[in-house]
A and B are shown apart, each in its own frame.
Chain A
């Protein structure tokens, strides 16, 4: 495993995890899921810092806390707007989107590649 990784990268992964899971997550869960090779306290520190920045909410759970993302209305709206634009961008080729949409043949091909059952 690489010895160093940028702290910003770890913050992104933590944010992605708490948003993807939808239920409040304990530091132990986050540690286990995204960075078991790092020290537990590192993940703990990142969670506390994200809470300090106002990006995460936390609630008491057992002897510690469970963390969930903060959803703000204004940001939500701005992001919705951008998401619509992202879809336009896909067609107009102004932005680098992660993946393009697929045609029927490609869907079958990729499902096979991932070992999914044929419908």
Chain B
């Protein structure tokens, strides 16, 4: 496999791990944007490399010149070995299937809510989520409502409306597709998910007149109700609930940690975009071909 292919892929995956696992602290709004960019660029580059190698293997370099224009866009200028070719072909098919599944689930999950602002589900199971659409629908179950008092219910509505207003479903959809392409991006996208929850929590604090303790209490009660219903799941990402509560009522992070986080995130995002654009080199080559031909 050529150097131009391997380098950006390694750089991207390395950065994705650093940004997904490292102890960086950052304002939730910055994090949502930066992590989405990183996830999409990383998945896009890896997906393109796999697709290009697979197509190159199937078509073979000798015949590529005779193909229709879009096939010639595939940026290959070397032969693809059998092992490499079969592996990338399998990877491409797996990616396509996983992306299809994610898109199908997204469609299913948002069906039937259009036109309504609020949908109350009559079930003891504690549920609350935001279903995107126009105008977007908050789905909440009686099980959750009865676990909370009226002011805590306001927190749930404010939180879910914040998700809808800030369009977090777009970020999460992009993140889910990125994970479908590169499962390696999972920690990064979990962090993105946490950042969207933090944004919505802070919005709820604003709506509830700055009462951080109330928002934290509502989150804690809802999480306990849900866990009591579903049973304790060992080692699930319940850490996100604790992280949100800490961020609301715990000791605020020191200023320097925030700045280090911002610096790492900015440098990381820029590097990832730069690494992704190494692929532009191939487009440049293609342009050269076309001009000569």
Interfacial residues, chain A to chain B (CB-CB below 8 A):
1-2, 8-9, 11-13, 15-17, 19-20, 22, 33-34, 69, 71, 75-76, 78-83, 85-89, 92-104, 106-107, 109-111, 113-114
Contact of B117 among A12, A20, A89, A99 (CB under 8 A): A12
* Measured CA separation A95–B105 after assembly (Å): 10
A89 touches B105 (CB 8 A): yes
* Measured CA separation A106–B224 after assembly (Å): 9
A46 to chain B, nearest CB (A): 13
In the assembled complex, which residues on chain B have CB atoms less than 8 Å from the CB atom of A92? Answer: 102, 105, 176
B36 to chain A, nearest CB (A): 13
In the assembled complex, which residues on chain B have CB atoms less than 8 Å from the CB atom of A104? Answer: 232, 234
Contact of A103 among B120, B190, B193, B235 (CB under 8 A): B235
**Which 8 A-B residue pairs are closest in the complex by CB-CB distance?**
A102-B238, A98-B128, A20-B145, A79-B121, A99-B223, A102-B227, A96-B163, A106-B238
Given A20-B145, A86-B109, A98-B159 contact (CB < 8 Å): yes
Given A88-B105, A89-B109, A104-B232, A98-B222 contact (CB < 8 Å): yes
Residue of A nearest to B120 (CB): A19
Contact of A82 among B128, B139, B200, B245 (CB under 8 A): B139
* Measured CA separation A66–B287 after assembly (Å): 74
Contact of B129 among A9, A75, A97, A111 (CB under 8 A): A97
B233 touches A101 (CB 8 A): yes
Residue of B nearest to A2 (CB): B209
Answer whether residue B202 sits at the interface, using C-beta atoms and an 8 A cutoff.
Answer: no
Most buried by A among B118, B156, B189: B118
Count of CB-CB pairs between chains A and B under 8 Å? 185
A22 to chain B, nearest CB (A): 8
A96 touches B109 (CB 8 A): no
In the assembled complex, which residues on chain A have CB atoms less than 8 Å from the CB atom of B113? Answer: 82
In the assembled complex, which residues on chain B have CB atoms less than 8 Å from the CB atom of A97? Answer: 127-129
In the assembled complex, which residues on chain B have CB atoms less than 8 Å from the CB atom of A12? Answer: 117-118, 138, 157
In the assembled complex, which residues on chain B have CB atoms less than 8 Å from the CB atom of A103? Answer: 232-236, 238-239
Given A1-B209, A83-B123, A98-B128, A93-B175 contact (CB < 8 Å): yes
Residue of A nearest to B164 (CB): A96
Other than the given A79-B123, A81-B112, 19 more pairs (CB < 8 A) read A9-B157, A13-B150, A16-B120, A19-B145, A34-B150, A82-B119, A82-B121, A83-B123, A93-B193, A96-B200, A99-B226, A99-B241, A100-B241, A101-B236, A101-B238, A102-B232, A103-B233, A103-B239, A114-B220
A19 touches B142 (CB 8 A): yes
B152 to chain A, nearest CB (A): 10
B239 touches A106 (CB 8 A): yes
A79 touches B238 (CB 8 A): no
In the assembled complex, which residues on chain B have CB atoms less than 8 Å from the CB atom of A19? Answer: 120, 122, 142, 145
* Measured CA separation A118–B172 after assembly (Å): 37
A52 to chain B, nearest CB (A): 16
* Measured CA separation A45–B245 after assembly (Å): 37
Residue of A nearest to B147 (CB): A20
Residue of A nearest to B222 (CB): A99
In the assembled complex, which residues on chain A have CB atoms less than 8 Å from the CB atom of B144? Answer: 98
Contact of A95 among B122, B130, B226, B233 (CB under 8 A): B130
* Measured CA separation A19–B121 after assembly (Å): 9
In the assembled complex, which residues on chain A have CB atoms less than 8 Å from the CB atom of B2? Answer: none
A71 touches B122 (CB 8 A): yes
In the assembled complex, which residues on chain A have CB atoms less than 8 Å from the CB atom of B235? Answer: 103
In the assembled complex, which residues on chain A have CB atoms less than 8 Å from the CB atom of B173? Answer: 94
